Structure 1
Amino acid sequence: MRSHTAPPVSTPLPFKEIRDGGLLLLCCVLYMAVHFIPNLGGYDVMGSQWFYLALLDFVAAIFILLNKSDYKAGARRIFSDRFTHLYMALVLLAGLSIFAAINKTEMLVCYVRLVTTVVAFLNLSVLLNNRVHLFGLIAQVVSMVLLLESLYALYTFFQGISSVKLDTLILSLKSNTGNKNIFAASLVVKVPFALYCIYTQKISGRILNLAALFLGILSIFIVNARSSYVGLLLVAGIYIAFCLLSFRKDKRKELLLYRAAYLLLPLLIALFCANMILTSAQSFQDEKGGYGTVTERLGTIGLTNDASNYRFALWRHAIDYSKHHPLMGCGFGNWKLASIPYEKEYIDDLNVPAHSHNDFLETTAELGLAGGMLLLALFVVLIVYTVRTLRSNADNHVKLAAVFSLLALAGYFVDAALNFPGERPVMQVFFALITALNVTAFNKSRESAASGQAQAVETSQDTNAIPPSTSYALFTMLAMLPVINLTFLTYQSLRAQLVVLPDLDNEALTLPLNQVSHIFPSIPNLTSTGQPIDAIVGRYFYENKQYEQAIQLFDKGSKANPYIFYSDFMKADVYYVRNQVDSAYKYATIAYYNRPRAKTYYQTLIAVCAKKKDTAAINKAFFTYTRYRRLQPFGWNMYLMGTLNVLQKGTKELLSMADSALRLFPQDPDLLVRRQEIINSMGIPTNGFQVPPNLQSTYQQLQAAGKDAFGRNDFNNAALYFVKAASISSEDYSNNENAAISYFNMKEYAKSIVYFDKVIESKKASDGKSEFFKGAALINLGKKAEGCALLQAAKAKGYQAAEAIIRSNCG
């Protein structure tokens, strides 16, 4: 009988290798797809992108769980790695910072983004285990993303080159990244992947990737982001150094020249083309803007505060805060709050310096010295890993994976040192991918060591301590549930912000209270611009005269952001309209002197001081405002308006101030009007008009209410008050004139003309003021000939402001 023996156990089938490789590639493609996720109705694109990544992390963990036997070794290996230990220590420290956080809710909102990035790194590392040979396919995917993004950016640029202002056009080149600097940085970190494909592929593959590399570099140059220039130069420098090291080993000059040319030729050609394109774009411009050719932008890079776009000052502030809080900073994600007191004398209005433009310094300010050192240590460890991989006897593709992932990390490092990639999903996806590739290559090189006994012992010792793939996947899925919830709520809030924030620019809010009061989720409690959401909602309650509810929301807003003083500003308005002048003055003073460059805070304080009849306080506010924003007419105009409101007549001193303002801003129409009002009110009696005795009190109250509303720029109510006053006394033409000017200021020119006509027809006004404003209204309505005729009439009556308007509109 013939004996039958069992066949030997075979190595994994090629099909399984193909399947696993395809699934890994699909996972990488899905992570890269975050570049193409739009804002989906959100105020900032990162809301939808973080939510997408959190969901993807969860799905990847499910896949690992379903294939736990395939990824058991990968899970154990990554959790035994020193880089992972450091990364997890950073995550733990960031989590503990909630106890020191200024705003604990904002800390959680930002913390889940860090968790999302770390889980992406762990997922990719587990999936990549023993699959470094797939680096080429991953690099090809990234290279194609680079090609697509570059083509779209260049298409957008050439579409608007002849019709859009160059600065506006360049700022629009941001794809789905948030702004042009992030977009340029994301291109820089993709360049090494395209370069790897050129370095390793045959001539047919090189052509496509050369196109991706050239167009990517061309896009980087056109975007005009100086930090990306620095990153690109560092990548080029390290790559050339690698080529020289390879030359020392193989001694082949022609190979050195070819390899160096792979990057240098596209770089130089792209530089030449970008300069030509940008020079051509400048020829379409009426005036030179802030952006120019590549060589011009390179010339502005320098170690000065002006050259660094104020980054040096931001860095000093972060360093100073870290000195005072070395053990635990302001809490993860809370630098946007802690930085505000440093910036109050430098940043206008309610803008906040959300980032220090250096992730290392910002992390130190948020987590203390230990946090900053841990973040820096991540980069140091990867450099050490790359060097050790190159010195090992690993296969060449493993060494190349280590080197080119380090090149991408160099591009990321520059952006982290000059911007804030830690907040942006498109950059964090790359950080997760780059670090996973580098760590996996290093671990593969350790496997290839000739003496593997020590490694085997180390692995056996770690086996019992390190969680297998099942534990990892289950724990990750559990941890990602609250992360998904928080990222979804943040995305929902950003959708609400897109609706509400533009409405805040309207003098009278247009959205109904019942919509706004329920539009925001409970988390976060700050907008993407750092404003307290409760205080914003409170403003709608205030506008609807529900003052008690408004005050409660303002108090909650103060806790969310105690340094922006928006709630104090709004409380001043509440107390002003309730005629609680002392309380209004208290909160207006707190708000303004803590944000002395805020235009609206200054305006409110002037209105409150005018109602309080406190010219000394008006003077103090004026001199404070002009110390910071002297070259703006708004501060002078508010001062003149407030003081005139208090005095109820012009004085020589006030006229002198108006003349001083007009010497600085000779054509400003508001200042011209204020000067004329001062002249008109000097020595002219304000009484003598016939008012029925039983209506005198009502008449005076209406006039006072109209003046108060006008002083607060509440022109709609001012007009209503003056119209009612005019119905009581037809002799006092100033009521109709003031109503007309109120409508004029609201740009309701047709309505203003109705009341100007009443003044002109009464023939009681001889100063030409109504003729002047009616003429200006007609010009705004497109009736230039009629308007200019009235302006000439106003000039003939001695209305001095008419001359400037005639020169600019009636030539």
Structure 2
Amino acid sequence: MSRKEKPIVELQSKQVKPKSGKNKRHDKNTAGAPFFRLSEAPSILIILAYIFIVTFTPNWMALDTNAPKFLTLSLINIGAFIVIFFDKSVRNNPNSSMRFFATNIGIAYSGFLILSLLSFTQAINLKESILQFAKLFSVFSATFLVAVILMQNMRLVKLIVIVMTGLLIFDAVSVFYNINLFLEGRIAGISDIKTVYSNKNILASSIFVKLPFALWLLNFEKGWLRRIGWIAITTGILATFFMATRAFYLGLLVLSLTFLAYLIINYLRKKENAIIKLGASYIGAILLAYLIFAFVQQNLYPKTNERTTQGIAAQVASISEFDTSAGLRINAWKWSLELIKEYPLLGVGSGNWKISILKHENQVNTGFIYLYKAHNDFLENAAETGILGGILFLSIFLFAGWNFIRHYRRNQEESDQLTKFFFLASAGLAFYAVDAFFNFPADRPEILILFTLFVAIGISSRIIQKTENNLTETSELKGMSIRNLNALKIHPQILKLIYGTFILLFVCISVIFKMNFESSKLQRIVYQEIMSGSLREPSSRFVGKFPTIPNISIWGESIPAITARYLLEEKKADETIDLLMNDKSNPFDARREFFIALAYSVKGASDSSLLYSRQAYELKPNYYRNLHMLLSIMDEKKQDSEIPKYIDPFLEKNKTEVNAWLFSTGFYSRINELDKAYSLIQEALEYLPYDSLIKQQERYLYHRKFIEPHADRFNKAMEIFNSGNYRAAVDAFNAYMEQVPFDLNAYRMRAFSLYQLQEFTLCIEGINEYLSNAEPDGQLLNLRGISYSALNEHEKACLDYEASMKLGDANGKTNFNQFCRNR
């Protein structure tokens, strides 16, 4: 067979004779080989573009960095596709790149993408599905393109490892710098540390998921590269400790034990002391990182009750279903499982989890801060694409691990390169899986790039492995490059059509991401004004200005509802109604119905307002503003018999909603059900004992229930007091207080009567009884001071005069200045 006819690989290194009668694989980086060749520059630039441009793209005035980063990712895909597939060697052998789809990981990934597309048939919001699929396809395309590069030249894996290890050290050092700012009080808390990323969680994820690159250097390299790997692992783990992310604490523990188990197996297999040293160096890195963190945390951290300033054990121990963060995740997972049960075949539609989940979430959520992500990509993908889609997504990770285990069992040669690549792919996806299990890296381009690299390396390694397995016994693999493969011949015009179609698809996706980016910039303005509590921009800034895609904001509110906020602020009721009537973007979000009800209320159309406020309540029964609007309209319409059907069940579930207690007790008071009103306000005091409005309402209802029926008796006592018959007044107030024991005014007037009778001790006791049940009273404090003076207790008297003066009582000020100023 001539060289041109060989179906295997282009030779790139000198032939090495097999040792001991066995074929040996050899690293392409043999002695004398340059680190990279000039011909590899386009491939290197593409890989570096994926790593650096996507990671460091700023938000460019968008609400977050996701929108611009997905846009830059799509643009890089266009450039990479043109460079790779217009290269002569690839264009002449299109079947070589198609081997991507013949690997187990490639099949699983492609199947997941197909099911994501089929799930459109189940989507409530098709535009959200289009946007989500654009994200999925962009990441898939990046993975495919990087895999095509690597299957031609696996030497570039080492370059990727070195670059990513450098970025890991950079991220870790940036964390240390910000920790120092925190210790100096220049940063309020650990949660404010984000460096070049959007928030703390993304920074923590970026550090954690980069650890396998450093682990690869430590495990497989020697000399200065191994030392850099150890430094990167130590600093990366230390930065992970500082970032106070409990999920990564648990993940680091499990994966470290897994790595040490691998080293033990490797030692039992090879009996090499170097493996023991490797394990010791890894354990030493963890211990050193822990000791540094523990010292800083115990001696330099401010003493607060914040979880993020506690030790590692205390933070992990704080995980429970009652913890806010853990509780939200548990609820999201439960509701995701419910969606999977309801839609097992094709799910709820790609990108529609945040919409469909509201029919569960809104039954318990008391506000409009939604779980727009499941905090578990495995469950979210299964909920959106069906059980099979979820299994295929999970299979990407399982196949990567299986490929490594299978290859490791079959190959014991020290020089074997594929073991290294399989190790990196499986370890990388294992670390990524921890993030995917507790967070949502599938919506974070800077983390998805790591996923892309790990999957591409895993697929390329499998392609190389399958190629090796097809070699004849006399063949020798000379390098890690696949070229000149026999392929099915494709007519050049058909090939141009295929390439043109993909470029057009990439351009369309870039247009979608550009629209998403422009929308995100407008959303930022709205979000900042909502958070400030004041809508200052005119509605003309937003009406008709949002792009077609997306029609749901990042925080889950429909774009028409966002615009309606500003129209309502300007009392443009008709425009609001016209805008929202056609909004079908999210049938489970009650804001549409709530704003329509408000608009009809502005117009004075109470019947229509009642209709939509009831719909808003049914969609979101635990949000009091929905209920309050409904109850207020019912109250206006005198529908007294209907109101208890809504307010009573609400208060059964929501014990800390102050306004609900006030409305309920006020309503029952108005319809003269004073016993129920007073019983309710007593219950409210149990849950809200320090709320001033609840206390005020309790005093009002007490007055209505107990004081008003005995008003004649109190008035009679006041007449006796005003006549100067203070002894009879004391008796009259005592008799009244037997009937109304908590009327503080009676205590007050009795104290004045006792003072007039010069019964100073009893007067003081009466004032003390009053003040123990009421707010400080300047007149009574002054009166008690006078009584103390009469009893020659001048120190106590001066304290009361001073307190009375501070409350603004003129007599207290006069007495203090006269009797106490010079004491």
Fold match (TM-score > 0.5): yes
Which residue number corresponds to residue 331 of structure 1? 349
**Cα distance in structure 1, aligned partners of 2:48 and 2:92:** 23
Shift of 1:538: 1.9
Which residue number corresponds to residue 7 of structure 1? none
Cα distance change on mapping 1:596 and 1:511 into 2, 3 Å: same
Shift of 1:787: 14
Which residue number corresponds to residue 179 of structure 2? 157
Cα distance change on mapping 1:369 and 1:624 into 2, 3 Å: same
| Structure 1 residue matching 2:582: 3-state secondary structure | helix
CA contact (8 A) 1:318 1:362 kept: yes
Q: 1:23 aligns with which of 42, 61, 65?
A: 42
**Cα distance in structure 1, aligned partners of 2:631 and 2:186:** 40
CA contact (8 A) 1:234 1:410 kept: no
Which residue number corresponds to residue 603 of structure 1? 628
Shift of 1:131: 1.8
Cα distance change on mapping 1:177 and 1:628 into 2, 3 Å: farther
| Structure 1 residue matching 2:350: 3-state secondary structure | coil
Shift of 1:39: 1.8
Shift of 1:470: 6.5
What amino acid sits opposite 1:574 in the alignment? A
Once the two structures are overlaid, the 10-residue window that deviates more, 363-372 or 176-185, is: 176-185
CA contact (8 A) 1:132 1:398 kept: no
| Structure 1 residue matching 2:327: 3-state secondary structure | coil
Which residue number corresponds to residue 633 of structure 1? 658
Cα distance change on mapping 1:79 and 1:464 into 2, 3 Å: farther
1:107 matched to 2:159? The reply is: no
**Cα distance in structure 1, aligned partners of 2:340 and 2:811:** 62
1:269 matched to 2:288? The reply is: yes
Which residue number corresponds to residue 266 of structure 2? 246
CA contact (8 A) 1:105 1:524 kept: yes
CA contact (8 A) 1:32 1:429 kept: yes
What amino acid sits opposite 1:419 in the alignment? N
Cα distance change on mapping 1:313 and 1:667 into 2, 3 Å: closer
Shift of 1:221: 1.4
Shift of 1:502: 3.0
What amino acid sits opposite 2:297 in the alignment? L
1:234 matched to 2:254? The reply is: yes
Which residue number corresponds to residue 117 of structure 1? 139
State the Cα deviation string for residues 520-546 of structure 1 (Å, max 9, x = none).
Answer: 212100001111111221232233232
Shift of 1:499: 0.2
Aligned ranges for residues 709-788 of structure 1 at < 5 Å? none
Shift of 1:567: 0.9
Q: 2:56 aligns with which of 30, 36, 54?
A: 36
What amino acid sits opposite 1:331 in the alignment? G
CA contact (8 A) 1:500 1:516 kept: no
Aligned ranges for residues 58-207 of structure 1 at < 5 Å? 58-70=78-90, 74-161=96-183, 163=185, 169-207=189-227
Which residue number corresponds to residue 51 of structure 1? 71
Q: Which has the higher contact order (CA 8 A, sep 6+)?
A: 2
**Cα distance in structure 2, aligned partners of 1:554 and 1:159:** 47
1:578 matched to 2:603? The reply is: yes
**Cα distance in structure 2, aligned partners of 1:533 and 1:133:** 48
Shift of 1:170: 2.5
Which residue number corresponds to residue 551 of structure 1? 577
What amino acid sits opposite 2:693 in the alignment? D
**Cα distance in structure 2, aligned partners of 1:642 and 1:535:** 32
Which residue number corresponds to residue 731 of structure 2? none
- The structure with more radius of gyration: 2
1:430 matched to 2:461? The reply is: no
Provide structure 2 residue ranges, at least 5 long, that are not aligned to the other structure: 1-9, 14-32, 478-482, 709-774, 779-801, 813-823
Shift of 1:460: 7.0
Q: 2:488 aligns with which of 459, 463, 479?
A: 463
Cα distance change on mapping 1:554 and 1:303 into 2, 3 Å: closer
Which residue number corresponds to residue 259 of structure 1? 278
Which residue number corresponds to residue 797 of structure 2? none
Once the two structures are overlaid, the 10-residue window that deviates more, 172-181 or 564-573, is: 172-181
**Cα distance in structure 2, aligned partners of 1:63 and 1:226:** 42
Which residue number corresponds to residue 292 of structure 1? 310
**Cα distance in structure 1, aligned partners of 2:446 and 2:589:** 30
Q: 1:528 aligns with which of 547, 554, 558?
A: 554
**Cα distance in structure 2, aligned partners of 1:353 and 1:487:** 23
**Cα distance in structure 2, aligned partners of 1:64 and 1:186:** 28
| Structure 1 residue matching 2:351: 3-state secondary structure | coil
What amino acid sits opposite 2:329 in the alignment? R
Which residue number corresponds to residue 448 of structure 1? 468
Cα distance change on mapping 1:613 and 1:24 into 2, 3 Å: same
Q: 1:594 aligns with which of 619, 632, 636?
A: 619
| Structure 2 residue matching 1:530: 3-state secondary structure | coil
Shift of 1:661: 3.0
**Cα distance in structure 2, aligned partners of 1:642 and 1:793:** 38
**Cα distance in structure 2, aligned partners of 1:260 and 1:309:** 37
1:667 matched to 2:686? The reply is: no
CA contact (8 A) 2:109 2:396 kept: yes
**Cα distance in structure 1, aligned partners of 2:557 and 2:39:** 47
Cα distance change on mapping 1:659 and 1:298 into 2, 3 Å: closer
CA contact (8 A) 1:106 1:526 kept: yes
Once the two structures are overlaid, the 10-residue window that deviates more, 68-77 or 479-488, is: 68-77
Once the two structures are overlaid, the 10-residue window that deviates more, 229-238 or 510-519, is: 229-238
Shift of 1:590: 1.9
Shift of 1:264: 1.5
**Cα distance in structure 1, aligned partners of 2:153 and 2:220:** 17
1:367 matched to 2:389? The reply is: no
Aligned ranges for residues 501-512 of structure 1 at < 5 Å? 501-504=527-530, 509-512=535-538
Cα distance change on mapping 1:68 and 1:566 into 2, 3 Å: farther
Which residue number corresponds to residue 314 of structure 1? 332
Cα distance change on mapping 1:184 and 1:372 into 2, 3 Å: same
**Amino-acid identity (%):** 23
Shift of 1:308: 4.2
**Cα distance in structure 2, aligned partners of 1:240 and 1:473:** 46
TM-score (norm. length: structure 1): 0.76
Q: 2:243 aligns with which of 220, 223, 230?
A: 223
Provide structure 1 residue ranges, at least 5 long, that are not aligned to the other structure: 1-9, 685-767, 772-785, 797-811
Which residue number corresponds to residue 512 of structure 2? 486
Shift of 1:428: 1.4
**Cα distance in structure 1, aligned partners of 2:46 and 2:472:** 31
The aligned length equals 684
Shift of 1:345: 3.3
Shift of 1:147: 1.0
Cα distance change on mapping 1:398 and 1:160 into 2, 3 Å: same
Shift of 1:569: 0.8
**Cα distance in structure 1, aligned partners of 2:60 and 2:810:** 54
Which residue number corresponds to residue 566 of structure 1? 591
**Cα distance in structure 2, aligned partners of 1:794 and 1:335:** 66
**Cα distance in structure 2, aligned partners of 1:370 and 1:20:** 42
| Structure 2 residue matching 1:35: 3-state secondary structure | helix
State the Cα deviation string for residues 341-394 of structure 1 (Å, max 9, x = none).
Answer: 222233230122222222222222111122112112222222232234332588
What amino acid sits opposite 2:650 in the alignment? Y
CA contact (8 A) 2:678 2:701 kept: yes
CA contact (8 A) 1:345 1:628 kept: no
**Cα distance in structure 2, aligned partners of 1:318 and 1:282:** 39
**Cα distance in structure 2, aligned partners of 1:154 and 1:195:** 21
State the Cα deviation string for residues 105-142 of structure 1 (Å, max 9, x = none).
Answer: 11111110001100100110111123222322210100
Shift of 1:23: 3.3
Cα distance change on mapping 1:245 and 1:794 into 2, 3 Å: farther
What amino acid sits opposite 1:188 in the alignment? F
| Structure 2 residue matching 1:367: 3-state secondary structure | helix
**Cα distance in structure 2, aligned partners of 1:795 and 1:435:** 83
Shift of 1:493: 0.9
